[in-house]
């Protein structure tokens, strides 16, 4: 039960969702939400040319249905759930979307596509959408934090092979969509229905497959669908979260911390603490990129290096360091995004974006002989100091042993993009433009940026998609052909 013993956890979240008004949101939360909308739409634009993006557009266009909402790269409008699916798939496809710590969730990629689709379908304003997104992000993070184990310092979801991003994302997005115009009962029922749709496993992080790209799209689709089903009469159990056969029992074997949901609910917000991603790769690799870039700035080049030891938190080792023979030989840019050795190569050789960008994670570069020679020199090991800091940060300690017999150590203990080392407005805009320029003109990028920055003043979120529904994936065909191809080809 929640802090109020008379209501369940879902009812507590529903009360929070309905009672929170736009004017209750701190200014920093409003600004953060607008920045996240810009960030997600830029990522969607960049991802629009991927094979998987073309596949999901082809699938939804074959389904038919009522024209309600916009999807990136789709000229006509789609049913709201289908539009949410497309945009959610694109938002997570490049592993460039934001991360909450220590829950290790990527909340925006599910919540924002779901809310924008539902808001467009219902005619909700930009202010309504901001409020709903803020609610959804908060609910998503709090459900994720309820599954964070303080003793193991890791997500229990993750330990069970579950993708908390999509599982909790479906719940947060459902609360957000229901909160656009629903009652407490509507939100509670939406959570109860969405819980039977929440899903996702993360084995593809280790050994390949593109299914993970679908996860946030399916979470967004499930959220919109759950709310639509509630509107026509379906209901969910009020004890859906803590019940004997509820969400936490099913996913976490009953091991959860209810205070992760209820403590400070409505008074304390998590949103400003969600880390923006400066690099288009698994977040566990980011500190390795920064450490390797520091070596480069110190004048060290690959020819100087005899060996590199990348020290990381123990819980991240499986994702970016094992199996080491796979991590040293990524076959595609997508696999390189989950490789610690590749992060060292990318940071040491330098690139675009904010240090490295999308053009640094191509299939060609993943198989480049020089990069592979460097990756062969990299061992990924658990580092006790990094493990002690994790998961409040994803730190790395890089020890480079040089051919002249000397050793250089670079420590990155605080990630870029979070409260301890935030990205500036100019840096976020630079990231957006580096992404969106692949399919959008300068004028179109200017227009979208202005709309996001003044979103609270817009009467319809459809304006966000004015220059996104007609993006031509052929404009970035070379990019798509070179990067992130299907791993089962």
Give the residue carrying structure tokens 């679908």: 214
Q: Is the pLDDT of residue 1 over 60?
A: no
Q: Which two tokens stand for residue 410?
A: 């670079």
Give the residue carrying structure tokens 């407005």: 425
Q: What is the mean pLDDT of residues 432-457?
A: 94
Q: Which residue has the higher pLDDT, 477 or 115?
A: 115
Q: Confidence band (pLDDT; 50, 70, 90) for 4?
A: low
Distance CA 125, CA 119 (A): 7
Q: Is the pLDDT of residue 397 over 90?
A: yes
CA separation, residue 276 to residues 285, 374, 408 (Å): 14, 28, 29
Q: Which residue has the higher pLDDT, 404 or 255?
A: 404
Q: Is the pLDDT of residue 29 over 90?
A: yes
Please state the pTM of the whole predicted model.
0.88
Q: What is the mean pLDDT of residues 301-326?
A: 96
Question: Alpha carbon 223 to chain centroid distance?
Answer: 16
Q: Which two tokens stand for residue 309?
A: 């030891």
Nearest to 116 by CA among 84, 140, 138: 84
Digit-coded pLDDT (tens) for 96-106: 999 999 998 99
Digit-coded pLDDT (tens) for 62-116: 999 999 999 999 989 999 999 999 999 999 998 899 999 999 899 999 999 999 9
Point out the least confidently predicted range of 67-81, 407-421, 464-478.
Answer: 464-478
Q: What is the mean pLDDT of residues 422-447?
A: 92
User: Do the Cβ atoms of 235 and 242 come closer than 8 Å?
Assistant: no
User: Do the Cβ atoms of 50 and 93 come closer than 8 Å?
Assistant: yes
Taking residue 152's Cβ as centre, other Cβ atoms within 10 Å add up to 12
Q: Is the pLDDT of residue 203 over 80?
A: yes
Buried b or exposed e, range 88-102, using 16+ CB within 10 angstroms: bbbbbbbbbbbbbbb
Nearest to 274 by CA among 387, 182, 177, 136: 136
DSSP β-ladder status, 378-382 and 305-312: parallel
Give the residue carrying structure tokens 């480079």: 400
Q: Is the pLDDT of residue 344 over 50?
A: yes
Residues 6+ apart with CB under 8 A from 434: 352, 353, 357, 358
User: Do the Cβ atoms of 197 and 234 come closer than 8 Å?
Assistant: no
Distance CA 213, CA 195 (A): 20
Whether the CA torsion 277, 87, 196, 125 is positive or negative: it is: positive
User: Do the Cβ atoms of 391 and 262 come closer than 8 Å?
Assistant: no
Q: Is the pLDDT of residue 485 over 60?
A: no
Residues 6+ apart with CB under 8 A from 245: none
User: Do the Cβ atoms of 184 and 18 come closer than 8 Å?
Assistant: yes
């Amino acid at each position: 039960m929640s802090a109020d013993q008379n209501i369940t956890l879902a009812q507590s979240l529903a009360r929070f969702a309905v009672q929170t008004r736009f004017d209750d949101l701190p200014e920093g939360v409003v600004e953060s939400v607008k920045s996240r909308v810009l960030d997600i739409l830029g990522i969607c634009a960049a991802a629009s040319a991927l094979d998987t993006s073309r596949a999901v557009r082809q699938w939804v266009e074959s389904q038919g249905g009522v024209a309600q909402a916009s999807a990136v790269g789709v000229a006509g409008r789609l049913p709201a759930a289908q539009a949410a699916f497309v945009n959610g798939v694109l938002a997570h496809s490049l592993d460039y979307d934001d991360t909450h710590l220590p829950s290790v969730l990527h909340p925006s990629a599910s919540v924002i596509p779901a809310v924008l689709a539902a808001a467009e379908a219902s005619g909700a304003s930009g202010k309504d959408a901001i409020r709903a997104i803020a609610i959804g992000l908060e609910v998503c993070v709090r459900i994720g934090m309820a599954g964070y184990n303080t003793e193991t310092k890791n997500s229990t979801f993750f330990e069970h092979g579950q993708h908390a991003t999509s599982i909790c994302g479906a719940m947060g997005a459902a609360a957000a969509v229901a909160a656009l115009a629903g009652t407490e009962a509507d939100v509670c029922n939406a959570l109860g229905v969405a819980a039977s749709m929440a899903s996702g496993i993360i084995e593809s992080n280790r050994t390949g497959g593109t299914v993970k790209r679908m996860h946030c799209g399916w979470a967004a689709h499930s959220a919109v669908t759950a709310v639509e089903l509630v509107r026509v009469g379906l209901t969910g159990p009020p004890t859906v979260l803590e019940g004997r056969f509820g969400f936490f029992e099913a996913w976490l074997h009953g091991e959860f911390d209810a205070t992760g949901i209820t403590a400070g609910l409505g008074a304390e917000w998590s949103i400003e603490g969600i880390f923006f991603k400066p690099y288009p790769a698994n977040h566990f690799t980011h500190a390795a990129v920064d450490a390797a870039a520091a070596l480069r700035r110190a004048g060290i080049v690959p020819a100087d290096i005899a060996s590199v030891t990348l020290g990381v938190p123990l819980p991240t080792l499986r994702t970016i360091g094992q199996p080491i023979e796979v991590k040293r030989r990524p076959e595609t840019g997508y696999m390189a995004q989950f490789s610690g050795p590749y992060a060292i190569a990318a940071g040491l050789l330098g690139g675009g974006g904010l240090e490295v960008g999308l053009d640094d994670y191509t299939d060609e570069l993943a198989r480049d002989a020089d990069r592979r020679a460097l990756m062969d020199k990299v061992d990924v090991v658990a580092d006790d100091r990094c493990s002690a800091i994790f998961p409040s940060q994803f730190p790395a300690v890089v020890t480079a042993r040089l051919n002249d017999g000397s050793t250089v150590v670079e420590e990155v203990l605080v990630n870029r993009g979070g409260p301890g080392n935030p990205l500036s407005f100019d840096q976020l805009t630079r990231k957006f433009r580096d992404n969106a320029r692949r399919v959008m003109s300068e004028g179109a990028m200017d227009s979208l940026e202005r709309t996001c920055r003044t979103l609270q003043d817009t009467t319809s979120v459809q304006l966000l998609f004015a220059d996104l529904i007609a993006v031509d994936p052929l404009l970035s065909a070379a990019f798509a052909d070179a990067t992130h191809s299907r791993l089962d080809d």
